[in-house]
Amino acid sequence: MHIAAAADLEPLLPPLLTAFQQQTGIRAEASYQSSATLATQIIDGAPFDLFLAADLSFPQRVIAVGRAEESQPVPYARGTLVLWTRNDSGIATLSLDALRNSTVKSIAIANPLHAPYGRAAQAALEHSGLYDQLRAKLVVAENIAQTAQYVDSGNAQIGFISLTSALTPRLRADGRFIRVPAEDYPPILQGAIVVRGRAGSAAAHRFLDFLAQPASRHTLAAEGLEPVH
């Protein structure tokens, strides 16, 4: 089974795939990209059985062209946006307001046009009335994994990344983060669809059931994705 997985799942999906294989004997492989890239690829007939997106709009697009088995995306998790900086970045206070300081020169965000976490980051900045004045400081990464790479490499001083990235051992060791207040941005509901007409669709349904099991939900929550229900 081939899974098209949103970039924020990269840190946590591999162990789940191993657990799934142990439980069911089904081997699953995942490709990680921005949700928009994956949606385009699936619409163009890429050989994926399951699409785990980082929001609901991209699965909707696949549904709209008739390539999905579901008529609505199946929400499987909720993402959390965090503000992350390296310990040696010279930024003392971690808060949205502190982004206005002249010491903050570059802020990494994922592309709001096509990355759900980027959209959430833009919404949070707009909600705080900061977006227009911070615009010149923004550096835009292609997806949320690249955003983490921009800040962790020190090229951008601070950035809006996913909690799933911030909780990885590497980023835990390199820096610190605060959660962006949940009321500042619309929830990052992550939806899945099973791709229509593929040999692996039964396996894909089983994987969705597996994700809903308490043990999997516990793993997701520990790695930065809240359960939906």
Partner 1 sequence: MDLQALWLTLRLAAATTAVLLALGIPLAYWLASARTRLRPLVEALTTLPILLPPTVLGFYLLVLLGPRTAFGRVAAHLLGHPLAFSFSGLVVGSVLYSLPFAVQPLAAGFRSVDTALLEQARLLGAGRWRTLTAVLLPLSTHSLVAAAALCFTHTIGEFGVVLMIGGDIPGATRTLSIAIYDQVQDFSWAAANRTSLLLICVAVLALFLLYAHRAQEDTGA
Contact footprint for partner 1 (CB under 8 A): 34, 36-37, 40, 61, 105-106, 108, 111, 113-114, 138-142, 149-150, 153-156
Any idea of the CA torsion for 56, 59, 61, 62, to the nearest 10 degrees?
-170
* CB 200 to partner 1: min, Å: 26
Identity of the residue, 2 or 61, whose beta carbon is nearer to partner 1 in the bound complex: 61
* CB 217 to partner 1: min, Å: 31
Identity of the residue, 140 or 178, whose beta carbon is nearer to partner 1 in the bound complex: 140
| Helix 116-127 with 144-152: angle, nearest 10 deg | 70
Identity of the residue, 37 or 80, whose beta carbon is nearer to partner 1 in the bound complex: 37
Any idea of the CA torsion for 69, 49, 5, 60, to the nearest 10 degrees?
-20
Q: Are 217 and 225 in contact (CB under 8 A)?
A: no
Identity of the residue, 17 or 144, whose beta carbon is nearer to partner 1 in the bound complex: 144
Q: Which residues pair with 160 in a beta bridge?
A: 83
Identity of the residue, 146 or 219, whose beta carbon is nearer to partner 1 in the bound complex: 146
Going from the C-alpha of 182 to that of each of 14, 25, 50, 78, 187, the distances in angstroms are 27, 38, 28, 11, 7
* CB 103 to partner 1: min, Å: 14
* CB 114 to partner 1: min, Å: 4
Identity of the residue, 34 or 162, whose beta carbon is nearer to partner 1 in the bound complex: 34
* CB 155 to partner 1: min, Å: 4
* CB 153 to partner 1: min, Å: 5
Q: Are 97 and 181 in contact (CB under 8 A)?
A: no
Rounded CA-CA distance 113/192 in Å is 20
Rounded CA-CA distance 164/170 in Å is 12
